[in-house]
Amino acid sequence: MDDVFAHGMKLKSFPLMARVRESSLNQEVPFQAAFSVGKRRFRRAVDRNRIKRLMREVWRVEKTRLAKNWQPGQTQWALVFIFAGQDMPTFSDVQLHMKRLVQSLEQKIGAGKLGP
């Protein structure tokens, strides 16, 4: 995860950000994702957990667009999604911004612009 933060490419769709890096994972899956919400912005753990749950659910639905043509042995990706907003988002807000991130990620992966 430190490697993703240090060397990964940054994608933004405020209030969501993503750090993406090509990686070799332990399992035959196209992606491994982590979700983060800053403690400085949301003091209560209940709020941070709610936002992470929203992000995980939207990612679960959206990742199929990226993984539809993936075959075992192809490039694997490590992703970290970060919520950088200051207000509690709604599901539709997270969905809109996650779709934008996935769309830009899809374009960059297809164009081969993401690399170590």
Give the CATH number for residue 84. 3.30.230.10
Is residue 113 included in any domain, yes or no?
Answer: no
pTM: 0.88
Taking phi over 0 as left and psi of -120 to 50 as alpha, with beta for the rest, 45 belongs to alpha
Is residue 29 included in any domain, yes or no?
Answer: yes
Q: What is the mean pLDDT of each run of 10 residues along the chain (116 residues)?
A: 85 94 87 94 97 97 85 88 96 96 86 55
Q: What domain count does the chain have?
A: 1
pLDDT of amino acid 18: 94
Separation between Cα atoms, residue 60 and residue 80, nearest integer Å: 14
Domain with 91, as residue range(s), is 2-106
Is residue 13 included in any domain, yes or no?
Answer: yes
Is residue 23 included in any domain, yes or no?
Answer: yes
